[in-house]
Structure 1
């Protein structure tokens, strides 16, 4: 695995959204895929891998990176495949869950570790859950922010019409090309609206929104981000067929000690998704923040940072 240090220069014609701070911009080559990441903390400290959601990039963790480093952790926030400065492979198969989990495994190996703490928000949270389920030997402690355990999501879709209403956008994202056009027009103005309209007032500054829009405006970035949803939808249909035929061979049980942080004012994911998880996650701590939205680590950065540090110090 190779590492390259970045001076913050994008390729010709692409917006540059690097942000100076107490971290370093670097790149890793994982299974021939180039992933950009930002690292803070000493190289020998316990590793924490942070996975962002849609439509974000590593910058989602700008508050937690220095807090984790100050607490004695090696914090690494990656641009997930397809996002911002990471490579953007073509085709839905490149965004299947096994590929996304493989990126996490490759990063842990890249840093010369056998295990890591794993944190994920939104789509990154789904990848974090799946990493703990599919590659439990990699995960020391797990922390998930506003992303449902897969079995809990299936449960609520099966019994809760309100969650179907909240999840309408997943079906819209299946439409070819139209979501990219809607979100990407005028330098990704739609991405800015999505963040502004779903977050608490003051959560994202004008500078924050400009950076998210710039990251989403990189060639191929929005199509890649939406392919996460498209690949997952196709996988879920296959999973349902296998369940119907009695051929499902995976577990829903998470072995790692788990922290679930939930902003209760999430417009897309109901608080019911935090309930009844003991059968799948026996070692679980749930922290529900009533005044926080889906963007919980940005709404309540200090509180979320403290919860993560406390969880990882165990």
Structure 2
């Protein structure tokens, strides 16, 4: 049994992590999205802990103050995946469940595809399998993903997001239905904390991008039909890229921000998934 974690290291950098639940419980690694932190899981973690799971929710690369490398190459998806494995190793978890939302889900898809020996189950929230996303980008999804091109230019978004106290970031995030955009606005309006998260998008142009294989681990994919960033085509196309047991759940009337908007419902779905595919199976 390992001690309670507040920090862990990966590639010589220091990451902050929230470690909740029994130290000897099955481990769930919860990966936040953009532009968020581990705080986005605040409503989801307590039911998991009450059910006996140990939940590790890190502030990921670019978000933890001690892990903000300046170069774009440091945000290649293989290195983001490596951070998750470093966390699991620090917790003594040879195998673990992974739960991810938004960019955290993208990392979780790659992690499950490349390191299926370490991942017991995958729960992806909002973001579809990368291959389904790539195919959808040839159609209407490209219009939904316009902001990805905007984020590509180093320094541009940082400059615009700090104008008038983050007015542009506030307007964009409020338009997506984000329940409380102010913490994210503060992050994006400060160049010291904005560049790391934006570098995740800029690293997409690196060789390999988000490429991953088919998913063999038991998978739950939760998508919401009022998601302004991710459309139905990629969501429904995800099943074609999963070989393991698969469940697709649509939350009607819910925005992109599922963990904050429907935490109890999401936690119940996750618990059902984990119970159906326990670590000791």
CA distance in 1, matches of 2:18, 2:58: 6
Offset at residue 31 of structure 1 (A): 2.8
Measured in 1, the distance between the counterparts of 2:130 and 2:18 equals 28
**Structure 1 residue matching 2:241: 3-state secondary structure:** coil
Contact 2:3 2:23 in 1 (8 A): no
Q: CA separation in 2, counterparts of 1:64 and 1:251?
A: 27
Equivalent in 161, 173, 176 of residue 198 of structure 1: 176
Cα displacement string for residues 196-218 of structure 1 (whole angstroms, at most 9, x for unaligned residues): 22116xx33xxxx4433444456
2:228 alignment partner, SS class:
coil
C-alpha RMSD of matched pairs (Å)? 2.2
Distance 1:213 1:278 in 2: 35
Corresponding residue for residue 22 of structure 1? none
1:59 aligns with 2:59: no
Of 81, 103, 128, the match for 1:101: 81
Within the alignment, does 1:221 sit opposite 2:201 as a pair?
Answer: no
Matches within 5 A, 1:77-92: 77-92=57-72
| Residue equivalent to 2:263 | 301
Question: Are the counterparts in 2 of residues 84 and 216 from structure 1 also a CA contact under 8 Å?
Answer: no
Matching residue of 2:183: 211
CA 1:66 to 1:218, structure 2 compared with 1: closer, same or farther past 3 Å? Answer: farther
Does residue 1:286 correspond to 2:213, yes or no?
no
Q: CA deviation at 1:120?
A: 0.7
State the TM-score, normalizing by the size of structure 2. Answer: 0.90
Specify the alignment match of 1:177 in structure 2.
Answer: 155
- What TM-score, normalized to structure 1? 0.81
Runs of 5+ consecutive residues of structure 1 not aligned to the other structure: 6-25, 240-249
Determine whether 1:313 maps to 2:266: no
Aligned mates of 2:4, 2:191 — CA distance in 1: 22
Q: Give distance in 1, aligned partners of 2:240 and 2:269.
A: 23
Instruction: Determine if the alignment matches structure 1 residue 276 to structure 2 residue 254.
Output: no
CA distance in 1, matches of 2:175, 2:240: 35
User: Of the candidates 252, 257, 269, which is equivalent to residue 218 of structure 2?
Assistant: 257
Distance 2:160 2:171 in 1: 11
Residues 171, 211 of structure 1: alpha-carbon distance in 2 compared, 3 angstrom cutoff? closer
Going from structure 1 to structure 2, the CA distance change for 1:115 and 1:217 (only over 3 Å counts) comes to farther
CA distance in 2, matches of 1:128, 1:69: 21
Measured at CA, do residues 51 and 189 of structure 1 come closer, stay the same or move farther in structure 2, by a change above 3 Å? farther
2:137 counterpart residue number: 157
Question: What residue in structure 1 maps to residue 92 of structure 2?
Answer: 112
> SS of the counterpart of 2:117?
helix
Q: Is the 8 A contact 1:144 1:259 kept in 2?
A: yes
Q: Does the aligned pair in 1 maintain the 2:98–2:108 contact within 8 Å?
A: yes
Q: Give how far 1:277 is off.
A: 3.0
* Aligned counterpart for 1:38 among listed residues 14, 18, 21: 18
Post-superposition Cα deviations, 1:160-199, rounded to whole Å, max 9, x if no partner, equal 2x11111111111111211111223455444433332211
